[in-house]
Amino acid sequence: MGKEKILAVDDEEDILELIQYNLTKEGYQVVPVTTGEEALKKARSQSPDLILLDLMLPGLDGLEVCKVLKNNQMTQHIPIVMVTAKGEESDIITGLELGADDYITKPFSPKVLIARVRAVMRRKGRQTVNTETPIAIHELVIHPGRHEVSVAGEKIDLTFTEFKILHFLASKAGWVFTRYQIVDAVRGMNYAVTERSVDVQVVSLRRKMGAYGDYIETVRGIGYRFKD
């Protein structure tokens, strides 16, 4: 555990102090900045392992910072966890679609902060998923090469789209995806999928998966994630 560098961006000094104190105690190196402009400079010069990015910043706001970082080859690999005020669902959706990896809503507890940071760091450390490698989660096995899914050894019959959605979510377990991102991931197969139909597909998936259907979590106002 730990000497990973985290760039913390927030214009509220008390929140920065809270973040720095708790993450430093956990063994992380924290670089605090208060503006979007500073965040861009530090991200480019120090190449942090993760960025905690407040969306409501003076001048260059968090969404613009996220967009710039994700469109730059030098910084696009850095995970970004957005820090938002409750009720900013549209901003959360925009941030996720710009490439942010997760979000934390204010006010947050230190335990939630640490858990989210650890989860993103853990996912970052995983190797890129081979699209042909089976995914096994307890008694759920997804075999992309065969387009087969089994639960406790029993095959379940999924449509093409249901399979693609399940495989997409399970291959990035723990990540939050908007309905648009899910559509974007599966529609390249010349198959009619819309944002509204994603909800219908998920309902059907959960029903067919039985008890394992609970692994597909609804993130209210945002989209879905597969439990990691």
Q: Give per-residue pLDDT as tens, 131-158.
A: 567 888 888 899 987 888 998 888 998 8
Residue 176 shares a structural domain with residue 195 = yes
- Asked if the model's pLDDT at residue 87 lies above 80, the reply is no
Q: Is residue 114 part of a domain?
A: yes
- Asked if the model's pLDDT at residue 64 lies above 90, the reply is yes
Which of 72, 106, 125 is the last residue before a domain boundary? 125
Token pair in block for residue 50: 């993760």
Q: What sign does the CA torsion over 125, 165, 143, 228 have?
A: positive
Token pair in block for residue 58: 């003076």
Residue 121 shares a structural domain with residue 141 = no
What's the confidence (pLDDT) of residue 227? 87
Q: Is residue 130 part of a domain?
A: no
- Asked if the model's pLDDT at residue 2 lies above 60, the reply is no
Segment of 5-14, 65-74, 137-146, 191-200 carrying the highest mean pLDDT: 5-14
- Asked if the model's pLDDT at residue 51 lies above 50, the reply is yes
- Asked if the model's pLDDT at residue 9 lies above 60, the reply is yes
Mean of all residue pLDDT scores within the chain? 87
Q: What is the CATH number of the domain that holds 11?
A: 3.40.50.2300
Please give the residue that has the higher pLDDT: either 17 or 127: 17
Residue 82 shares a structural domain with residue 104 = yes
What's the confidence (pLDDT) of residue 146? 81
What's the confidence (pLDDT) of residue 215? 92
Domain count, the chain: 2
Residue 53 shares a structural domain with residue 79 = yes
Please give the residue that has the higher pLDDT: either 146 or 214: 214
Residue 151 shares a structural domain with residue 97 = no
Residue 10 shares a structural domain with residue 87 = yes
What's the confidence (pLDDT) of residue 1? 46
Q: What is the CATH number of the domain that holds 171?
A: 1.10.10.10
Residue 9 shares a structural domain with residue 103 = yes
Q: Give per-residue pLDDT as tens, 188-207.
A: 544 556 677 889 889 999 99
Q: What whole-number distance in Å separates Cα of residue 183 and Cα of residue 104?
A: 24
Token pair in block for residue 150: 């089994």
Q: Is residue 16 part of a domain?
A: yes
Residue 161 shares a structural domain with residue 207 = yes
Which of 125, 158, 181 is the last residue before a domain boundary? 125
Q: Is residue 152 part of a domain?
A: yes
54, 77, 128, 227 from 120: Cα distances, Å: 17, 12, 14, 13
Residue 42 shares a structural domain with residue 89 = yes
What's the confidence (pLDDT) of residue 71? 87
Strand partners, 29: 5
What is the domain range of residue 38?
5-125
Q: What whole-number distance in Å separates Cα of residue 176 and Cα of residue 218?
A: 9
Whole-prediction pTM: 0.71
Which of 68, 98, 125 is the last residue before a domain boundary? 125
